[in-house]
């Protein structure tokens, strides 16, 4: 089943986010290579594709997992979670309808 994983950035964590980004992306690339990743990306804090020092509100991942517990475990092991980039996280079941 598909799940939406969201993380909201903690204030003042842009530098940490950028430092651990390669490890975060490696995990997403593994999901992609397994054919389980539908989409993933950051949400800029301002209305701009390059928010600069304004940073990011958070990140969104839509991917396939065997269960909600598996999705939550994957999210909990993400470098952004481990290093405190995210102040809050959530994992929810998702049903794709379109396109």
- Tell me if the pTM is above 0.85: yes
Q: What would the pLDDT profile of 4-30 be if each residue is shown by its tens digit?
A: 999 999 999 999 999 999 999 999 999
| Four-way CATH pick for 2-94: 3.40.50.300, 3.40.718.10, 3.30.70.1060, 3.40.630.40 | 3.30.70.1060
Q: Which of 96, 93, 80 is nearest to 18 (CA)?
A: 80
Q: What would the pLDDT profile of 35-66 be if each residue is shown by its tens digit?
A: 999 999 999 999 999 999 999 999 999 999 99
pLDDT at 65: 98
C-alpha span between 35 and 19 (Å, rounded): 27
């Amino acid at each position: 089943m598909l799940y939406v994983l969201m993380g909201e950035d903690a204030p003042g964590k842009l530098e940490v986010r950028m430092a651990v980004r390669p490890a975060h992306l490696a995990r997403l690339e593994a999901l992609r290579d397994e054919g389980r990743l539908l989409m993933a990306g950051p949400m800029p804090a301002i209305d701009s594709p390059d928010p600069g020092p304004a940073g990011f509100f958070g990140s969104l991942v839509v991917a396939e997992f065997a269960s909600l517990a598996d999705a939550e475990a994957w999210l909990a092991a993400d470098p952004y979670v481990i290093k405190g980039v995210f102040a809050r996280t959530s994992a929810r079941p998702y049903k794709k309808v379109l396109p």
